[in-house]
Chains A and B, each alone.
Chain A
């Protein structure tokens, strides 16, 4: 295409400006350039600004979207949102551009003789319904499955669960949050009996100390990081970055502490040891509100097909727990973790100081961890021992990475064992769901089937024959990817993929459905602080693109479930949400009515008597507390939280002579997850055009590798060649490398390991052994 020099210069000026703005946004997360935003708008425009939650991460920033002539043309932070208070990160600021990529899917595609052929939506939906019915007839109900995501809106996930669990009668429902948040869920359930954080983002305005456990918030949660930096400036709050690699978060923190992979378990226990040793235990809190338990150890790593594990909790007393911690003195832990005893004591002292309010933040570090549930438990142990929980500023806070990982996957319950309220194993929960769904209770199978990794293994084995994948990209994100891609491509498998662009996942599809994205349809997301946010349809989707919700309803009707899927096209979102709310009635989880969500930037559940609940389990704030005490951990039958005895155990695979380095994977600020949206936003793509491997400068020097040189990474799963980054954005510790996973042309998951936490079944993307060579 010809571009005039004038246009080119103007483009380059724009790029130069945007590069600077991107750089500024990484230094000052949440920075706003309002003047530029307005300058970019069409001349004489009269924008209609409408509110929505951001499409990208789990922070759930409120944004205002400028609509003109049926097109979303601008984004700005919503000053009325208590989440982001008008701030917006570089991805959110450019988010609407992701809707207008040139290669947007607009027509259904059906694979015929190896080639994709355009067809009508009616024909595609007919084909999907008939193929599902045929597969169930030939192979049984557990041969069909759906794999969704934390980007599903609440109605998407709800109708998926209702169709598969309630109508078809299979628990083959999973979502990609299994790959990122399942550990947070099992952490909450084991410690408190109920999922999701007890606190909220307002804790940031009260805390004196922020401890970030393996959490690069400056890049992954920049708006919340910006709020923390603001508190440091105005109130002198301190930030401690506890991580395996030096990042922009480390540089901005008051203190950066590096630990060797997997040894966070030991350091956490050492902090508990110090708290007890120094008499910093909040004795009355622990006596009144906590139990002590231990579980099974040496659980394995789930590397084999059909791996099963069930923990056997056993109550212990405080003295037994105290004795267990004797193996974790700071001096002993220093030797295994690389963290000095002095630094362990430094962290413990802040947690132990009764005059300091402490927030712990974590995300993928402790969650994508082969002992992730244990790691979550240990962080809760620290807060429970010191009584620093469920009060403003004292808050263990597990963050999420997708806009509705909480709202859809965890609250609607789009995981194999879950129902919107409760679990499939519980008779009363099944009866409750069946009544609302208007299905015979026998329809809901009491046995969970496959978690995500096992679901893709079942597809490979042929136990699953039909899979519908919506709004996620597993052919980039699955660990040990080759096995699962080869499995999906085997004969006799039928794969449907609903998405907005072609991705490596649409490559395995038999039918590709074009989806409506974000504000091209109506819906709700639920963010990390239990906040449900509504967005209206603001623009039309392109071509025949259709919301994932309506795709599922159309197929359900074709399969004979008209009674259960009675919804009208014009009002279906309202009808679905109204029905969904019935599952959560009660003071423990009541959801705000739709009229409230339409009026304000979201509401936090439990929403009781017209009010959001900011701090659960604290009787001052939470109307569900009924024990007459200050705190009530009502998720557990006796109202007490659990302090778990959890030891250090090594990772599934550790460096050895053949594969001497640790490989860690993760994200970058410019791209959201697999990059299928952000790589179509020119400024973000230009700022970060391809993946790379970060090396420690000492290791790089020894191997004579410089930035840009090709590096070969080899694991037991395969090899990959990619450019080096030395002393660039992040700096790994010696004998460790880091690779981001956003680049579909450099699929790092070809060589990662599919080990997982035996309790949560969430894979450990942060640790496997790798050989590093100059290519």
Chain B
């Protein structure tokens, strides 16, 4: 059950749009920086396949400029 965190850089002037887009994805928690054009995104998926799909989904967002992974954890599946 992968949990990953990313630093996400929006295209210039599109931070709010990016926050809205990512907030709409169930597997993502978004924490936008207050004073910089950057977001912290934490993802939680059930398996590697879902994680890959999610990553592709994120990368296809128009307002997203760069997705940089910071940490990744794999935890036992919840019962």
Name the CB-closest residue of A to B32: A35
Chain B residues near A20: list those with CB within 8 A.
Answer: 5-7, 40-42, 70-71
Checking B3, B42, B78 against A5 with a beta-carbon cut-off of 8 angstroms, the contacting residue is B78
The CA-CA distance from A32 to B1 in the complex, in Å, is 29
Bound-complex Cα distance A224 to B79 (A)? 48
Closest to B68 in A: A23
| Residues from chain B with Cβ under 8 Å of A6 in the complex | 78
B75: which A residues are within 8 A, CB to CB?
5, 8-9, 12
Contact call A32/B42, Cβ cutoff below 8 A: no
In the bound complex, residues from chain B placing their C-beta under 8 Å from that of A86 are 35
User: B56 an interface residue at 8 Å Cβ cutoff?
Assistant: no
How far apart are the CA atoms of A736 and B5 in the complex, in Å? Answer: 34
Instruction: Give Cα distance in the complex from A162 to B7, angstroms.
Output: 52
User: A24 to chain B: which residues have CB within 8 Å?
Assistant: 7, 33, 36, 38, 40
Q: Is the CB of B78 within 8 A of A33?
A: no
* Chain B: interface residue total (CB-CB under 8 A): 26
Residues on B with beta carbons closer than 8 Å to the beta carbon of A35: 31-32, 34
Q: Which of A370-386 contact B (CB under 8 A)?
A: none
Q: Hey, which chain B residues are within 8 Å of A32, CB to CB?
A: 33-36
Given contacts A5-B78, A5-B79, A9-B1, contact A16 B31 (CB under 8 A): no
| CB contact list, A1-22 vs B, under 8 A | 5-6, 8-9, 12-13, 15-17, 19-21
Q: Give the distance to chain A from B33, nearest Cβ to Cβ, in Å.
A: 5
Q: How far is the CB of B5 from chain A (nearest CB, A)?
A: 4
Contact of A13 among B3, B34, B38, B70 (CB under 8 A): B3
Could you say which residues of chain A place their CB within 8 Å of the CB of B41? 20
The yes or no answer to B11 lying at the interface (CB within 8 A) is no
| A16/B42 contact (C-beta < 8 A), A23-B7, A24-B33 known | yes
A13 and B35: CB pair below 8 A? no
CA A34 to CA B32, docked complex, whole Å: 8
With contact pairs A5-B75, A35-B32 given, residues A17 and B1 touching in the complex (Cβ less than 8 Å):
no
Q: In whole angstroms, what is the CA distance A36 to B34 when docked?
A: 10
Once the chains bind, are A28 and B38 in contact (CB under 8 Å)?
A: yes
Most buried by A among B1, B34, B44, B78: B34
Give min CB distance, A7 to chain B, whole Å. Answer: 11
A155 interfacial by beta-carbon distance below 8 Å: no
C-alpha gap A9/B29 in the complex (Å): 14
Is B76 interfacial (CB 8 A cutoff)? yes
Contacts of A12 in B (CB 8 A): 3, 73, 75
Within 8 A of A (CB), among B50-76: 70-73, 75-76
Q: Which residue of A lies closest to B77 (CB)?
A: A5
Given contacts A5-B78, A32-B33, contact A21 B42 (CB under 8 A): no
Q: Once the chains are docked, how many angstroms separate the CA of A6 from the CA of B1?
A: 12
A739 to B37 alpha-carbon distance, docked (Å): 33
B31 touches which of A21, A28, A87 (Cβ 8 Å):
A21
User: A429 to B38, alpha carbons, bound, how many Å?
Assistant: 55
- Residue with the highest number of chain A CB atoms closer than 10 Å, among B31, B78, B79: B31
Q: Which residues from A are CB-within-8-Å of B33? A: 24, 28, 31-33
State whether B3 touches A9 (Cβ < 8 A). Answer: yes
Check B71 against A31 for contact (C-beta < 8 Å): no
A166 close to chain B: CB less than 8 A: no
Cβ distance A274 to chain B, nearest Cβ, rounded Å:
38
Across-interface contacts of B44 in A (CB, < 8 A): 9, 13
- Contacts A24-B38, A31-B38, A33-B34 given; indicate if A13 touches B29 (C-beta within 8 A): yes
For B36, give its contact among A5, A9, A15, A31 (CB under 8 Å): A31
Q: How far is the CB of B12 from chain A (nearest CB, A)?
A: 13
B7 surroundings in chain A (CB, below 8 A): 20, 23-24, 27
- Contact B76–A5 (Cβ < 8 Å): yes
Contact B35 A15 (CB under 8 A): no
Q: Please give the distance in Å from B56's CB to the nearest CB on chain A.
A: 20
- Residues in chain B near residue A23, CB distance under 8 A: 7, 70
Report the bound CA distance from A6 to B79 in whole Å: 9
Does chain B have a CB within 8 A of A214?
no
Chain A residues contacting B4 (CB-CB under 8 Å) are 16
Bound-complex Cα distance A24 to B3 (A): 18
The chain B residue with its CB closest to the CB of A16 is B5
Q: A15 and B71: CB pair below 8 A? A: yes
Chain A residues, CB < 8 A from B34? 31-35
B5-43: CB near A (< 8 Å → 1, else 0) gives 111000000000000000000000101111110101110
A596 → B minimal CB distance (Å): 29
In the docked arrangement, what's the CA distance between A166 and B22, Å? 65
Contact B78 A9 (CB under 8 A): yes
A392 in contact (CB, < 8 A) = no
A30 adjacent to chain B (CB < 8 Å): yes
Within the complex, the shortest CB–CB distance from B77 to chain A, in Å, comes to 8
| Complex alpha-carbon distance, A33 and B34, angstroms | 5
A21 touches B29 (CB 8 A): no
Which residues does chain B contribute within 8 Å of A39, judged by CB atoms? 31
B38 touches A16 (CB 8 A): no
- A34: B residues at CB distance < 8 A: 34
Q: How far is the CA of A86 from the CA of B34 in the complex (A)?
A: 11
Q: Of all chain A residues, which has the CB nearest B38?
A: A24
Q: How far is the CB of A599 from chain B (nearest CB, A)?
A: 26
Considering the chains assembled together, what is the distance between the CA atoms of A39 and B35 in angstroms?
A: 17
Residues in B whose Cβ lies below 8 Å from that of A31: 33-36, 38
When distances are taken between beta carbons in the complex, the residues of chain A under 8 Å from B71 are: 15-16, 19-20
Set B1, B6, B73, B76: member contacting A15, Cβ < 8 A = B73
Q: How far is the CA of A13 from the CA of B33 in the complex (A)?
A: 18
Report the minimal beta-carbon distance from A221 to chain B, rounded to whole angstroms.
Answer: 18
For the complex, give the distance between the alpha carbons of A16 and B3 in Å.
7
Bound-state CA distance A610–B31 (Å) is 43
**Complex CA–CA separation, A13 to B5 (angstroms):** 8
Chain A residue contacts of B3, Cβ below 8 A: 9, 12-13, 16
Q: In the bound complex, do residue A13 and residue B31 qualify as a contact, i.e. CB atoms below 8 Å apart?
A: no
A30 to B34, CA, bound (A): 10
Measured CB to CB, the nearest residue on chain A to B70 is: A20
B10 vs chain A, min Cβ distance (A): 14
- CA of A418 to CA of B32, assembled, Å: 49
Instruction: Specify which chain A residues have a CB less than 8 angstroms from the CB of B5 in the assembled complex.
Output: 16-17, 19-20
CA distance A34 to B31 in the complex (A): 9
Q: Tell me the complex Cα distance, A454–B79, Å.
A: 63
Q: Would B70 and A28 count as touching, CB distance under 8 A?
A: no
A18: min CB distance to chain B, Å = 8
When chains A and B are docked, how far (Å) is the Cα of A24 from the Cα of B66? 14
**Chain A residues within 8 Å of B31, by CB:** 17, 21, 33, 35-36, 39
Q: Which of B6, B35, B75, B79 has the most CB atoms of chain A within a 10 A radius of its CB?
A: B35
Decide: A21 and B40 in contact? CB cutoff 8 A.
yes
The residue on B at minimum CB distance from A76 is B34
Give the Cβ gap from B46 to chain A, nearest Cβ, in Å: 12
Query: Once bound together, how far apart are the Cα atoms of A4 and B72, in whole Å?
Result: 20
- Closest Cβ of chain B to A37, distance in Å, is 9
Q: Given the known A-B contacts A19-B5, A20-B7, are A13 and B42 also in contact in the complex, defined by CB atoms under 8 Å? A: yes
| Interface pairs (27), CB distance under 8 Å | A6-B78, A9-B3, A9-B44, A9-B75, A12-B3, A13-B44, A15-B73, A17-B42, A20-B5, A20-B6, A20-B40, A20-B42, A20-B70, A21-B31, A24-B33, A24-B40, A30-B35, A31-B34, A31-B36, A32-B33, A32-B34, A32-B35, A33-B32, A33-B34, A33-B40, A35-B32, A87-B35
- In the A-B complex, the 9 residue pairs with the closest CB atoms: A16-B5, A20-B5, A32-B34, A19-B71, A20-B70, A20-B40, A34-B34, A36-B31, A28-B36
Given A24-B33, A31-B34, A86-B35, 15 further pairs, Cβ under 8 A: A5-B75, A5-B78, A5-B79, A6-B78, A13-B29, A16-B4, A16-B73, A17-B42, A23-B7, A32-B33, A32-B35, A33-B34, A35-B34, A36-B40, A39-B31
